Amino acid sequence: MNGMRACIDTNVFIAVKNREENYFYCEKIIDEIDEGAIEGIISTLVIAEVLVGFYKNKEEFEASRFLTHVIHTYKVIPVTTNIADFAARLRVAGLKLPDAIILATAKLNDAILITKDTEMKVDDLDVLTPEEFVEKYLKR
């Protein structure tokens, strides 16, 4: 995968956690990041969104485990002024602000955004569903 960077959206982690339909595509991507075959990046916003589910279900241990895992495995990207500026432009174009922040994070860090949200596909930005990513890059 030499140099491939994947920015993971919240819904990819949630699909694995909840064993949603076709979650195994998401799991395959996360496994590849865990093994170091792909560089994974994650927005601090995604961390917050995933943690909400754990805390809502009173899964303190799982929340701690998730947080420790992403800190040690992913490049965590904070919302910078450049990301905020780009996200604002995406927001004006019709994206929800959280989606715009995550997409801006991917774009400004030269990463492919992997998301189950097909509405986040924007012209000239590299956005793939987990299924598309696996078919294009991980089919072996």
Residue 26 lies inside a defined structural domain of this protein: yes
Number of residues assigned to the chain: 140
Q: What is the mean pLDDT of residues 72-79?
A: 98
CATH code, domain carrying 126? 3.40.50.1010
Q: What is the pLDDT of residue 120?
A: 87
pLDDT for 1 beyond 70: no
pLDDT for 123 beyond 90: no
Residue 102 lies inside a defined structural domain of this protein: yes
Residue 140 lies inside a defined structural domain of this protein: no
In which band, very low, low, confident or very high, does the pLDDT at 48 lie, cut at 50, 70 and 90?
A: very high
In which band, very low, low, confident or very high, does the pLDDT at 124 lie, cut at 50, 70 and 90?
A: confident
The model's pLDDT over 79-122, given as tens digits with 9 standing for 90+, comes to 999 999 999 999 999 999 999 999 999 999 999 999 999 888 87
In which band, very low, low, confident or very high, does the pLDDT at 3 lie, cut at 50, 70 and 90?
A: confident
Task: Give, for 7, the enclosing helix (H) or strand (E).
Answer: strand 5-8
In angstroms, rounded to a whole number, what is the distance separating the alpha carbons of residues 60 and 57? Answer: 8
Residue 116 lies inside a defined structural domain of this protein: yes
Q: Has this prediction a pTM greater than 0.75?
A: yes
Residue 138 lies inside a defined structural domain of this protein: no
Segments forming the whole domain that contains residue 104: 5-133
Q: What is the mean pLDDT of residues 74-81?
A: 98
Task: Give, for 96, the enclosing helix (H) or strand (E).
Answer: none
Residue 70 lies inside a defined structural domain of this protein: yes
Number of domains in the chain: 1
Q: What is the pLDDT of residue 127?
A: 95
In angstroms, rounded to a whole number, what is the distance separating the alpha carbons of residues 122 and 102? Answer: 13
pLDDT for 46 beyond 90: yes
pLDDT for 139 beyond 90: no
Tokens of 137: 């890059």
